Amino acid sequence: MQKSAHMVIDRELPLSEVDKRLYGSFIEHLGRAVYHGIYEPGHPLADEDGFRKDVIGLVKELQVPLVRYPGGNYSSNYYWEDGTGPRELRPKRLDMAWRTTETNEIGIDEFAKWAKKVDTDILMTVNLGTRGVTDACNLLEYCNHPGGSKYSDMRIKNGVKEPHNIKNWCLGNEMDGDWQLGQKTPEEYGRLAREAAKAMKLMDPGIELVSCGSTNSWIETFPEWDAVTLDQTYDYVDYISLHRYAENPDHDDANFLAGTVEMDRFIHTMICVCDYIKAKKRSSKTLNLSFDEWNVWEEDVSEMPDPPWQIGPHLLEQVYTFEDALVVGLMLITLLKHADRVKIGCLAQLVNVIAPIRTDNMGGIWKQTIFYPFLHASTYGRGIVITPIITASRHDTKEFTDVPDIDAVSVYNPEADELTIFAVNRDLADDIVLTADLRSFEGYRLLEHIVLENEDLKAVNGMDGEKVTPGKAEGRAAIDGGSMEVVLHKASWNVIRLKKEA
């Protein structure tokens, strides 16, 4: 018997406009993300500044509006001054987070130049691990003050007259984790982050600040860490961060695809904590979320170099499968379903390190499987989220119960008068016929039905060719008045685009 599902999309029930920063990403001084990633002087496609033009091209294709920098764990022992001034005078430093040698060839000025080349803004992370308030303010002064002060004049002397005007700042990284240099108790971090935030906003009231939230939903201190820290920082920050990496350690594919159920709970719980502190303080301010690290990350990829203290070694170079692309699609759907509170998102990371873009040293470049769902969401997921009401069959997995076979979200773009539906069929065995009630969008025609599908869940892309690429589904979708019927193949990512008839 053919499986079926039903969906209602009503334009009178909008959730929120999508903040463009939801499609941000992340570059850390880790592995080959910077060196042999975005920066490789001597490469045939390197520009006058040593940046790879082929990488720039693919980043621009993804339309990434925000890139978190320089970490990550790296930021908890970050000495930003080392990456300024004449390159020949910059010191090499041992990076204890990843046990590599940092040459400091790329610092904040060079990264800001690269960011302009790819049309993106920077989400800057300050070191609240081994440093503190003074250094955070010094970096802000260097980046944002126009001139006439010690650190702004240092920037000008270094050849950068105009300030970088970085508007988004993270107050440290994963300070709840015992893997972090300078790990803090929630009481310690809350006070430090509050004082840093107060000082930074005195210097530049126009910036927005992200307070460290719990690293993941299963860390022992969640959600108490968030309540304790926000009790001190709530009045001074604009967001709290969340991080999540999906894994499939038991090679249980159904359970892997169900994992966004927990991601949804994580977001919901964090919203509840924020609103509890809001109520406790009798505040009129609503705190939003920054999901500034998320992706699939399996534990079998090399995390530390052997031997240590190499420059730009191969680390965390996840080879992504078709199945991983489905999970990334499901994570994007989950973020969009919370667009009313999740305003910043950073796919971690962007190049080589758990990334949609991979390069060979002095060689070629290719798109990993996860490149495509992110590309589709970034391209077509701009506008107003309308959360559909879905009736579909459900299943249980090893860890999760009542998992819907279909997960979907819709985004309405009023300027283009287009409606896009993103949908994943989690069912590994059966196609599903989805009937959509589109009476509030009557008069819309089908533009295209893009699919990502493959009979082999473990299919990958590489320098030798791409086995997982999007295609056009012909004849699977039909619209009749205010109703649409579409066939969603088993284990598939679907982008269904509709447009108002002229």
pLDDT tens per residue across span 17-68:
999 999 999 999 999 999 999 999 999 999 999 999 999 999 999 999 999 9
| Block residue for tokens 């791409």 | 466
**What pLDDT digit, counting tens, does each position of 73-84 carry?**
999 999 999 999
Mean per-residue pLDDT over the chain, rounded: 97
Domains of the chain, earliest start first? 3-11+385-500 (2.60.40.1180), 21-380 (3.20.20.80)
Residues with Cβ within 8 Å of residue 109, at least 6 apart in sequence:
83, 84, 155, 158, 159, 160, 164
293 has catalytic annotation: yes
Give pTM, 2 decimals: 0.97
Pick the catalytic residue from 28, 102, 110, 174.
174
**What pLDDT digit, counting tens, does each position of 73-117 carry?**
999 999 999 999 999 999 999 999 999 999 999 999 999 999 999
Pick the catalytic residue from 102, 293, 323, 453.
293
Residues with Cβ within 8 Å of residue 478, at least 6 apart in sequence:
446, 484, 485, 486
105 has catalytic annotation: no
Residue 298 banded pLDDT, cuts 50, 70, 90: confident
pLDDT at 300 over 80: no
Task: Return the pLDDT at 137.
Answer: 98
Q: Give the integer Cα–Cα distance in Å for 125 and 358.
A: 24
